[in-house]
Structure 1
Amino acid sequence: MAIAAADILGAILAFGGIIVMLAVFNANIFIKIIDFILLIGVMLITARLAMFSLRPRYATRTNKISQIAAGIYCICLVVAAVYCIVQLFIS
């Protein structure tokens, strides 16, 4: 669950930074490119965390439900980042 806690904090900070930059600079094309790069970074990191948390662990003693919860949350963050990328260039 520590992975999910770090992922929640990172997502709040990353998505907050994206929204603030878009609001302050009125969605300039340079700002959209920076936000795109940030969202790609969020996607890559959370996809790696989802793969890490959903792989089977035989030697360690972790609860299966916490692995599944962290993996589902990471997958939802990847979907949210893709949605933000699409909305970034449509609007």
Structure 2
Amino acid sequence: MMQEHFYNPNEFWGDWILPSTPRNDTAYTGKDYWRGSIWAPMNFLVYWGMRNYDLPQARQDLVQKSKDLLLKEWNDYAYVREN
């Protein structure tokens, strides 16, 4: 399931993760709030959910990608956007 969905760049994987809607879904726009935007609280909830399963690499990858996204905003603009 992780390879099929989480690590699939056509769905959730990419430079910035996790989009609120899979990229290959017809509802995905990439910009609308719940049609593709990335939300730090959602990443946090997914991380907490992953703790219930033996997915240490996926958790680590999610943490690193989330950290990269937040720090890029902080380093570039000295703030963090909500999405």
Q: Does the TM-score normalized on the shorter chain lie above 0.5?
A: no
TM-score category by the smaller chain? Answer: 0.3 to 0.5
TM-score, scaled to structure 2: 0.40
Higher helix share: 1
Higher relative contact order (CA 8 A, sep 6+): 1
TM-score, scaled to structure 1: 0.38
